[in-house]
Amino acid sequence: MNMNIKEIREDFPILDSGIIYMDSAATSLTPEPVLDAVLDYYRNYNANVGRGVYKLTQIASQKYEDAHKTVAKFIGTTSNELIFTKNTTEGINTVASGIGLKKEDKVVVSLWEHHSNLLPWIRAKKTLGIDLEVVKPNAISEGEAKTQCALETSDFVDAIDKKTKIVAITHVSNALGSILPVKEISKLCAESNALLLVDAAQSVPHMKIDVRDMGCDFLAFSGHKMLGPTGIGGLVIKEELMDEMEPLTVGGGAVEDVSFADYRLKQSYEKFESGTPNIAGAMGLSAAVEYLEGIGMEKVRAWEEKQGKRIIEELRELDNVEIYGYGSEAFERGQRIGVVSFNVKGVNPIEVASRLDTEASITVRSGHHCCIPLMNYLGLGAEGTVRSSVYLYNTEAEVETFLELIRKISNS
Ligand SMILES: Cc1ncc(COP(=O)(O)O)c(C=O)c1O
């Protein structure tokens, strides 16, 4: 199951600078084939899409269409169900504003949500008066620390009811690395006739995703977290919901017919992509998907799990280090990815991150990770945690350097 990390690293020119990049949950590095795909568009077939008859635009349009197909297939769907967005945030906002929420509706989210899957719903509560319910751990079982923040399917049972219009949950917590059982939760949604939106920003880059098998109605993700460029992402919308949904924006490229009084929108993903799309970004995202497929998502996941497990187990040996989220046993249960959140007691997370950077060019994230309510639940406030997040280009030697330095910081 091993990957050739040395060969992989040669595809990432930024690594020549000597950085040890452990902040891939924020954004991933970009390999040469993705850079090439973006440049290829600007160099060789730079034209708008879907709007002309000349050869160059036809090449661009065909490639844009192909990019839809490649990315859709990667997550187990077809291009008629995938719209390109700017990022996960835009995908979630598209759903929140497009499903016709009304005052009497209820929206269910979880304690683990990123601000991008909270603010659109809080706004709906403020402007429409919807009921917003946040699922938190119901009970902390014996021997289980509050710092684990465990969430099980059973925690959602009471919250999802006949009033629930949509359940909007993260697949993987960006702050904890913990995985929600979305497939099981989808069954609860079906029983109550509720829609299910999965925020897959942290899962699509790290594991094999099959949207249909997952049983969700919407799935949002970002290209820049999966080796693609910034400014491009995807939103899967179940085909039968596309007709009745309102797009986030309306304008050129999305219409069948227009008069001064009215317009008729196209009945395809184009309805949701008005205006000139991020064509170069789509080419880059498609190349990123091909790159990941070339390696194999099972291998990517296994490699990250191995590194994540080692980080957790070694940090656990340090008396004054506190780890948040599930322990390393959760890898075997399929409840974890390689993201590790922790604190060195008595040392501000910013200081830990700065020392890692200045002493060994190690990049990790410090702070609330756009999860202020979760950090408050953990009693951490906006200071938050230190978060390491590995990807397919991290070596075991890099992980060792990181651990060495944490040992040193925790002893000083
Ligand atoms: C779980 C999760 N959801 C949503 C987002 C927002 O992603 P973007 O900034 O690409 O829209 C992130 C980004 O870190 C995330 O981790």
User: Which three-class secondary structure string do you get for 274-305?
Assistant: CCCCCHHHHHHHHHHHHHHHHHCHHHHHHHHH
- As a whole number of angstroms, the distance between CA 235 and CA 347 comes to 39
pLDDT tens profile 14-40: 999 999 999 999 999 999 999 999 999
Residues 136 and 164: beta-carbon distance below 8 Å: no
User: Helix, strand or coil for residue 137?
Assistant: coil
- As a whole number of angstroms, the distance between CA 127 and CA 348 comes to 37
- Residue whose CA lies nearest to ligand 1 atom number 15: 201
Question: Residues with Cβ within 6 A of ligand 1?
Answer: 87-89, 114, 116-117, 170, 174, 199, 201-202, 222
Ligand 1 centre to CA of 318 (Å) is: 31
Ligand 1 centre to CA of 202 (Å) is: 7
- Which atom from ligand 1 is nearest to the alpha carbon of 174? 16
- Which atom from ligand 1 is nearest to the alpha carbon of 225? 10
- Which atom from ligand 1 is nearest to the alpha carbon of 27? 14
- As a whole number of angstroms, the distance between CA 107 and CA 165 comes to 6
- CATH topology of 5-27+296-411 equal to that of 38-293? no
User: Helix, strand or coil for residue 261?
Assistant: coil
- As a whole number of angstroms, the distance between CA 175 and CA 225 comes to 15
- Residue whose CA lies nearest to ligand 1 atom number 7: 88
The residue to mutate among 171, 197, 222, having the most atoms of ligand 1 within 8 angstroms of its beta carbon, is 222
- As a whole number of angstroms, the distance between CA 302 and CA 95 comes to 32
Ligand 1 centre to CA of 201 (Å) is: 5
pLDDT tens profile 249-296: 999 999 999 999 999 999 889 999 999 999 999 999 999 999 999 999
| In the chain, domain spans | 5-27+296-411, 38-293
- Which atom from ligand 1 is nearest to the alpha carbon of 224? 10
Ligand 1 centre to CA of 255 (Å) is: 30
Ligand 1 centre to CA of 251 (Å) is: 26
**Within 10 A of 63 (CB to CB), how many other CB atoms are there?**
18
Residues 88 and 113: beta-carbon distance below 8 Å: no
Cross-strand pairs, 323: 342
Indicate the CATH number for domain 38-293.
3.40.640.10
Ligand 1 centre to CA of 116 (Å) is: 6
pLDDT of residue 1: 58
Ligand 1 centre to CA of 253 (Å) is: 27
The model's pTM is: 0.98
Q: Which positions of the chain have pLDDT values less than 50?
A: none
- Residue whose CA lies nearest to ligand 1 atom number 16: 174
Pick the CATH number of 5-27+296-411 from 3.30.70.980, 2.60.40.1890, 3.90.1150.10, 3.30.360.10: 3.90.1150.10
| Residue-by-residue DSSP string for 86-117 | SSHHHHHHHHHHHS---TT-EEEEETT--GGG
- Residue whose CA lies nearest to ligand 1 atom number 14: 26
Q: Please give the single-letter amino acid code of residue 390.
A: V
- As a whole number of angstroms, the distance between CA 338 and CA 308 comes to 4
Residues 45 and 63: beta-carbon distance below 8 Å: yes
The residue to mutate among 27, 89, 109, 169, having the most atoms of ligand 1 within 8 angstroms of its beta carbon, is 89
Catalytic residue chosen out of the listed positions 189, 216, 370, 371: 370
**Within 10 A of 411 (CB to CB), how many other CB atoms are there?**
10
pLDDT of residue 143: 65
Residues 364 and 353: beta-carbon distance below 8 Å: yes
H or E element, residue 388: strand 385-388
pLDDT of residue 394: 98
pLDDT of residue 51: 74
The residue to mutate among 370, 372, 374, 387, having the most atoms of ligand 1 within 8 angstroms of its beta carbon, is 370
Instruction: Give yes or no: 370 in active site.
Output: yes
pLDDT of residue 107: 98
